[in-house]
Structure 1
Amino acid sequence: MADDVAAILDAAPVKPSDAIAFVRQKTLVTTASFGELEQEAHARAFTSAGMTEMSMLRKVGSDVSRAISEGMSYSEFQKRFLKIAEDHDWKPKTPSSVVTDRDLKNRANLIYDTNMSMAYSAGEWKRLNTPEAIDIFPWFQYRHHSCPHPRLQHLAWDGLILPRDDPFWITHWPPNGWRCHCTVEPISRRDMRMNKWEVSESPPIRLVERRNPATGKMVHVPEGVDLGFAYNPGRVWQADVEARAATAPKPITHINGIPKTEVAPGVREQAQVKQIGELLDKRAGSVEAGTLPDAVVKELGVTDDSVVLDHDTIGKQGLHHGEIGREEYEAIPAMIARPEAVVPTRPGASGPAVILIGRNGRAFYRMVIGRLKSVTKLKSFHAVRESEVRRLMRRSVITDDAEKMENGEE
């Protein structure tokens, strides 16, 4: 099955960036069983039934993002998933009390297959709803692809041509179930003429009752669509993007009506922590993440001491540093203001940059801060081992605390 979805996605003209953006905007939500989240919530959250430990969910979510952005194969994803499950002593719920290696591999397959399909489905919706696409393609055609065990209802929809604004696409945009690999193709006026096609009659949507396994309640879903799939992920995503953009945070300029440069450093730092929390919640926009010490301002050759963090950077961080959570992000303002060390770097194509070594508790963090056009940005942020810290110390401006660690006093 994983090979099937990979083949379909390889042929899909969706920009990987669109599929990646869909996955990155999701928040992590732990659930005990499938059905705890309403169906449209799955377009906003990454979850897996029975995965109740946030640290494990974060690692699996990071690998899903990497599978889409870097083309990680299913075999590699499965290998990594089995290792994560072993490290966390996690087993999926099964009808039997005995969980086999095959059960774990089936769960890996389901996570990979469903998330890849959903991401590319959402990316396809975005691609087909640009102003140019709306003008060129007035209709969509439902396509069923051959598989060993086809759903008869999905076969019946194969070849269906409906206007792009038909309500059918709100609840029946594929995938329409577990391991469903149906797709939608755009249809132009020329396509209609060349193939002598006609617009289909919109099929009646017959609702059937299904039992939600998490709540025990009976819910109505369209016939032929699995529970939790009767929504258009791309449509939900785009509506959310527009809503978040309208209320996205921006870097502070004033605090309680006073210019930020005139308030006490502690007050400004508290405002920065609050802004980072808003950025994590809104999943859009940019904020002031810290105030540079004078020595770093001089090193970068800038006049503004403000450091900006945007949501795109947070999304990229999730690919390789899924262990970074809210607590670490909200510690950034203090670490920027009072770094353990400042490490000069060679100017890159985008301008000068420095590495700051920050400390939160007993953990050390590496922050790359650089100038991009007229803005000083936090470009990357992740935990580092003491061995790496010691290496960086050799070419840094070192504070007293860092010198103690270098001399083995801690």
Structure 2
Amino acid sequence: MAEADDRPNYSFDPGPPPGASRFLANKGWQPAFSWLDVEPEEHAVAFSVAKATSLDVLGDIRAELQTALDDGLPFTEFQKRLRPRLQARGWWGTQAVTDPATGETAPAKLGTPRRLRTIYDANLRSARAAGQWDRIQRTKAALPYLAYRLGPSERHRPHHAAKEWLVLPVDDPFWQTWYPPNGWGCKCWVMQISRSRAEELGIDDSPEIDTREWLNNRTGETKMVPVGIDPGWDRNPGAMRQAAMQGFLERRVVDLPEAQARTALRDMASSWLVQRVLAGQSGAKVAVGFMPPDIAEAVGNRAAFVRITDEYGAKVGAKAAPVTPDVMARVSEAIVEGPLARDRRRGQDDLLVMVDGLEPWIAVIKNIPATNEFWIKTIHRTTQRKWLADLTATDVEQLR
């Protein structure tokens, strides 16, 4: 069981809220020297820890955070598991580090119990809040209001305390900024409620959000930050991720940066909507993968995304081995990074994507250059031996 102050009271069931695990698991990577180097929009889609510029160190921290989130581990267990790994990599205590922005080398604290506590709290609370936002959006027809609540801290920030029991509709713009956590160590949360309960409490008018100037000493940029919210915490990461997903669903995304696009597609691929596609029950055509331009050009297709629809989804979902949300997220990433070949053995122009791992899968993508479309045709279990046999077969061309 997690420690009492580690799990906000909004959880309706044991473990992380739906979507929380996916929020953390689907993030990309953003090595950074300082937290000031990473914007809130980047934090929503990429995993970053200040002064963890090595992917090995970032990978260790992220893996243990994922385990702590999924298994409900308290901080003491998280620290017990992670500290030896960081010490073995030399990322512990005070070390001389070089700032890549200035080239200056100076002593800096890397891993410490206090830093691990901050990393644990910030990432798990953000993931749980984003997971709750996912659920809020799915259930807002029945529970269309949110109430701002204070956490179990002994002392509260005055601006946070002033919002206790503020009741507003789920889609009020206020929640795009003031959706907790709203700062380092903030334990505030929101409670989703029915219309009748909201009317009992009293529905408020959407408050004006006062802002102040804040100078980022790292970049020299001046930003307007809401009064009462710590810089870097003034965005609703769950809402940002969902907005990107919705853009792909409505085919409105054209200029989204690749890192955000890839994270949004992993979110989409592992979402409840795609599970409905795999059951043949969605009626939607959903983007689940980003097709790199060089591969698209090589196969004569201008489509930027790989999609899935009920027609093929029902066939995929009927396979003996279940295609879980985790498998779909792996497929989404493999389309960008994994081994890929063109298969012309059946007079078609299919693409084969190897989804590597302890349990390898293969995704078959139907390539339709005439209409510039890529469709997931099938996904099934495979082995390294079968994949190598595919690559050496006649009329199979390895593209990556």
Query: In structure 2, do the counterparts of structure 1 residues 144 and 311 end up closer, same or farther at CA, with 3 Å as the change threshold?
Result: closer
Residues 136/214 of structure 1: CA separation in 2 closer, same or farther (3 Å cut): same
RMSD over aligned Cα, in angstroms?
4.5
Deviation string, structure 1 residues 281-339 (Cα, Å, up to 9, x no partner): 98x868xxxxxxxxxxxxxxxxxxxxxx998327579xxxxxxx98x9535769xxxxx
Q: Which of 301, 307, 312 pairs up with 2:326? A: 312
Separation in structure 1 between the aligned mates of residue 190 and residue 10 of structure 2, nearest angstrom: 15
**Structure 1's 151 and 68: CA in aligned 2 closer, same or farther, altered over 3 A?**
same
**Structure 2 SS opposite 1:112:** helix
Separation (CA, whole Å) in 1 of partners of 2:242 and 2:38: 19
Distance 1:92 1:229, change over 3 A: farther
The 8 Å contact of residues 313 and 380 in structure 1, kept in 2 or not, is answered as no
Measured against aligned partners, the alpha-carbon deviations of 1:229-269 in whole angstroms (never above 9, x if no partner) come to 1111111111122334567699xxxxxxxxxxxxxxxxxxx
Displacement of 1:73 after TM fit? 3.0
Q: Could you say what secondary structure the match of 2:61 adopts? A: helix
Q: Which residue is 1:293 aligned to? A: none
C-alpha distance in structure 2 between counterparts of 1:168 and 1:376, whole Å: 42
Q: Which amino acid aligns with 1:137?
A: L
1:220 — aligned with what? 224
1:67 aligns with 2:80: no
Letter in 2 for 1:236: M
Question: Conserved in 2, the CA contact under 8 Å of 1:34 and 1:214?
Answer: no
Larger Rg: 1
1:4–1:313 Cα change, 3 Å? same
One-letter amino acid of the structure 2 residue matched with residue 87 of structure 1: A
Structure richer in helix, relative to its length: 1
- Alignment-derived partner of residue 59 in structure 2: 58
Q: Which residue of 1 aligns with 2:112?
A: 104
> SS of the counterpart of 1:199?
coil
TM-score norm. by structure 2 comes to 0.62
Match of 1:182 among 158, 183, 188: 188
Structure 1 residue matching 2:85: 3-state secondary structure: helix
Residue among 119, 124, 127 paired with 1:116 = 124
Percent identical residues: 26
Give, in angstroms, the shift of residue 92 of structure 1.
Answer: 7.2
Q: Gaps spanning 5+ residues in structure 1: where?
A: 251-269, 276-280, 287-308, 318-324, 335-355, 359-364, 382-392, 400-410
Q: Could you list the per-position Cα deviations for residues 11-36 of structure 1 after superposition, in whole angstroms to 9, with x for gaps in the alignment?
A: 44486441111112210110111121
Pairing 1:238–2:204 present: no
- Give the Cα separation in 1 of the matches to 2:383 and 2:44: 26
Residue identity matched to 1:105: P
Give 1:138's aligned residue: 144
Q: Which runs of 5+ in 2 are unaligned?
A: 97-105, 252-264, 270-293, 309-322, 343-353, 365-376, 390-400
Measured after TM superposition, the shift of residue 184 of structure 1 is: 0.8
- CA-CA distance at 1:175 after TM superposition: 0.5
Matches within 5 A, 1:167-316: 167-193=173-199, 195=200, 197-245=201-249, 312-313=326-327, 315=329
Match of 1:166 in 2: 172
**Partner of 1:8 in structure 2?**
8
Amino acid at match of 2:80: K
Displacement after TM superposition at 1:58 (Å): 1.9
Report the residue type matching 1:32 in the other structure: F
Alignment of 1:321-332 (within 5 A): 330-331=338-339
In structure 1, the partner of 2:135 is: 127
